[in-house]
Amino acid sequence: MAGPRLLFSTAAFFARPLGDTFGVVAACGYTGVEVMVTRDPASQDATVMRKLAAEHGLEIGAIHAPSLLLTRRIWGTDPVGKIERAAEVAADAGVPTVVTHPPYRWQRGYRRRLNETLPSVEARTGVTVGIENMFPIHVGSRPLMLHANQDLDELEGIPHLVLDTSHAAVAKHDLIDVRRRFGDRLRHVHLSDNAGRGWDSHLPPGQGVLALGAFLDDLVACGYAGAVSLEVDLRRYLTEPRELNAILVRMREEVESRLAG
């Protein structure tokens, strides 16, 4: 049985052209990427993505739909329409998975339509759509729940799930417990560390408090065969090419070593 596949999320280079990002990632030895849909037209065009991936020897393993606040106006404002479009682009690009965030609490119509529409979107496109676990925002000492399907109990009816390790840390969830609870519904992992201070820090592995090595060992031991996508904040490295390359190579080598078992 094939083991987990390592990807690198282009979210780390959010404002850079996709072609430049592919070049940096490939030069550091990665063979797979997750493309975050941004304002860059290349990230929205299946033909361009396929061409760039071929030029750099990369495989696109997932597309992240524009479901962030920063991308809320990309492909319109209808959340279900964004997912449908992302799945269509993924199908055209030969990408097996779309990742998206769950609806906000106030988007009752979206929540209902998502449940009704998701099976037909997956059947029509052949693309798996995975919903991420989210986390509360703290206002003072009070947690504010922005997303529906935020508690683990609320994820029970969702067929395909994405486990984001930094999100789990903010929600004070144990990573291995979440993995076990998701079971065979787990389709994709967003891997990053967390500072343990109550916010979504997406640190490079080894720079926070999470036991990511044990988590990766558990993924391998349980037979997980989906993708593990490094979704990290690299802003402090972006103006220092040597440091950027060094952290990219280090992350790849350490995670690949764990995934090899």
pLDDT of the residue at 219: 98
What local confidence, expressed as pLDDT, does residue 181 receive? 96
pLDDT, tens digit only, all 261 positions of the chain? 578 999 999 999 999 999 999 999 999 999 999 999 999 999 999 999 999 999 999 999 999 999 887 888 899 988 899 999 999 999 999 999 999 998 776 666 777 788 889 999 999 999 999 999 988 765 555 555 555 545 677 788 889 999 999 999 999 999 999 999 999 999 999 999 999 998 899 999 999 999 999 999 999 999 999 999 999 999 999 999 999 999 999 999 999 999 998
CA distances from 206 to 56, 173, 211, 212, 213 (A): 28, 19, 9, 8, 9
pLDDT for the residue numbered 239: 96
Residue 183, burial from CB neighbour count under 10 angstroms (0-12, 13-18, 19+): exposed
Rounded Cα gap, residues 161 and 131, in angstroms: 5
**Domain housing 216:** 5-259
Residue-wise DSSP of 84-136: HHHHHHHHHHT--EEEEPPPBTT-HHHHHHHHHHHHHHHHHH--EEEEEP--P
**CATH at 121:** 3.20.20.150
Q: How many domains does the chain have?
A: 1
Distance CA 150, CA 153 (A): 8
